[in-house]
Amino acid sequence: MSRELFREVSRRDFLKLCGGVAAALGLSEVSVPEVAEVLAASSKKPPVVWLEFGSCSGCSTSFLNADSPNAVDVLLNHLSVRYIEVIMAAQGAMTEEVLHETITNEAGEYIVVVEGVVPTKDGYGMIAGRNFYEVLEEVAANAKAVIALGSCSAFGGIPGAKPNPGEVKPVSELIGKEKVINIPGCPANPSWLLTTVVHVLMFGMPELDSYGRPKVIFGQCIHDNCERRASFDEGMYVEKYGDEEIGRDYCLVKVGCKGPNTFSNCPQVRWNSGKSWCVGVGAGCIGCVEPGWPDAFMPFHDRLPDIALPGYAGLRADADLVGTVLGAATAIGIGAHLVGAAAKGKLGKHEASEDKAKTEA
Ligand code: SF4
Ligand code: SF4
């Protein structure tokens, strides 16, 4: 591992980090010193156990690559990470001892981060001779909070897509929802983990939506904060990938953007040190933070089929309401919005009448 990874956090970077976390938590600037105190207090370093189950390790990679500020520095300097399979140098019996010491001596204090799904069929994933689900049950039992990081551990993600031969399940289905915080995403944004850990340390469990996600991160629809929204409202759509309109911020809904059905702060926090995000680079949102993804959002580059919802206007208020009505992430926003656009004569004739007929039905 490079020295760079372990470099000291400069005070400027550290305060920038605290400012970002405070903003993400919805706190004012006057709270920045409080956030800094929580992160900096060495005597309060919370023990963290990071379990790696069935995954590509993409969420670890995403987190470890964060450099503005360097989240790894914060992880190493301000949290007490006792066990993290993807980067720990130790192995074998020694690591198992540390793990068991932590869950015994720090009962009620340590935070567990779980990356990856949990196969429920024997032999589909083991650590030290035990199935993943046995390890999860033991480690989670005494934890202060369990953070299911990434779409796999939160909702099943790609390993949970059909045919799911290992009968994998998300964390909350196995240990209950009580202390599980879901931070989905494929991968999860590094800022989401940090924001959630700080929330747990400062205020306890964050307010969650009906899918167990912190509302402070996943409370707003992507479509409402998208930089291409003005194009959507004006009926300026990209018709196919490769069109020059992609670079002119035309809306991507007709080439499959699932932003109207997806709830997260991606447009605000962005990726790659805040430089850009999926819709910003013209790829469209594929809904990776939603339950049912990826199966419920396929094909990625087609418009989702419309679902008739009489009196839809204003329904897309938050993820809970969508979940209450439909029970899972499905296509409700796109059709209704396109009907609105169609009514203004902004869509093609065929699509306009087709959408309107479906919604009226
Ligand atoms: S449909 Fe997608 S690209 Fe268009 S405004 Fe909504 S989120 Fe942005
Ligand atoms: S914009 Fe959509 S696909 Fe991209 S990371 Fe956010 S939720 Fe996932």
Q: Per residue in 219-258, pLDDT tens?
A: 999 999 999 999 999 999 999 999 999 999 999 999 999 9
The pLDDT value recorded for residue 361 is 35
| Nearest CA residue ID for atom 6, ligand 1 | 223
The separation between CA 22 and the C-alpha centre of its own chain, rounded to angstroms, equals 18
Could you give the CA distance from residue 156 to residue 213 in angstroms, rounded to a whole number? 14
Evaluate the CA torsion angle 199, 202, 205, 210 in order and state its sign. negative
Decide if pLDDT at 161 tops 60.
yes
The pLDDT value recorded for residue 325 is 38
Could you give the CA distance from residue 62 to residue 57 in angstroms, rounded to a whole number? 9
Q: Is 39:74 a contact under the CB 8 Å cutoff?
A: yes
Tokens of 151: 């779409």
The pLDDT value recorded for residue 306 is 55
Q: Per residue in 5-60, pLDDT tens?
A: 334 456 676 677 677 777 766 676 767 777 777 666 545 678 999 999 999 999 99
The pLDDT value recorded for residue 75 is 66
Closest to 171 measured CA to CA, from 262, 55, 58: 55
Label the pairing between strands 47-52 and 130-131. Answer: unpaired
Pocket of ligand 1 (CB under 6 A): 222-223, 226, 228-229, 232, 251-253, 257, 259-260, 279, 285
Could you give the CA distance from residue 68 to residue 254 in angstroms, rounded to a whole number? 34
pTM for this model (two decimals)? 0.80
Q: Per residue in 318-333, pLDDT tens?
A: 455 444 433 333 333 4
- Is residue 357 very low, low, confident or very high in pLDDT (cuts 50, 70, 90)? very low
The pLDDT value recorded for residue 328 is 36
Element (H, E) at 168: strand 168-169
Q: Is 191:291 a contact under the CB 8 Å cutoff?
A: no
The pLDDT value recorded for residue 33 is 77
Helix/strand/coil for 99: helix
The pLDDT value recorded for residue 360 is 41
Could you give the CA distance from residue 95 to residue 102 in angstroms, rounded to a whole number? 11
Closest to 300 measured CA to CA, from 345, 259, 360: 259
Domains and CATH numbers, the chain: 3-218 (3.40.50.700), 222-360 (4.10.480.10)
Q: Look at 348 and 295; give whichever has higher pLDDT.
A: 295
Q: What's the 41 CA to ligand 1 centre distance in angstroms?
A: 42
Mutate which of 222, 255, 285 for ligand 2 pocket (most atoms within 8 A of beta carbon): 285
Q: Is 172 exposed, middle or buried (0-12, 13-18, 19+ CB in 10 A)?
A: buried
The pLDDT value recorded for residue 181 is 98
Tell me the catalytic residues. 56, 59, 152, 186, 223, 226, 251, 257, 266, 278, 285, 288
Q: Which ligand is nearest to the CA of 260?
A: 1
Angle at 93 between CA 90 and CA 99, to 5 degrees: 75
The pLDDT value recorded for residue 81 is 87
The pLDDT value recorded for residue 308 is 31
Q: Per residue in 264-304, pLDDT tens?
A: 999 999 998 889 999 999 999 999 999 999 999 999 998 86
Q: Look at 320 and 145; give whichever has higher pLDDT.
A: 145
Could you give the CA distance from residue 274 to residue 80 in angstroms, rounded to a whole number? 27
Sheet with 180-183: list strands edge to edge: 80-84, 47-52, 111-115, 145-149, 180-183
Could you give the CA distance from residue 190 to residue 61 in angstroms, rounded to a whole number? 9
- Is residue 80 very low, low, confident or very high in pLDDT (cuts 50, 70, 90)? confident
The separation between CA 56 and the C-alpha centre of its own chain, rounded to angstroms, equals 15
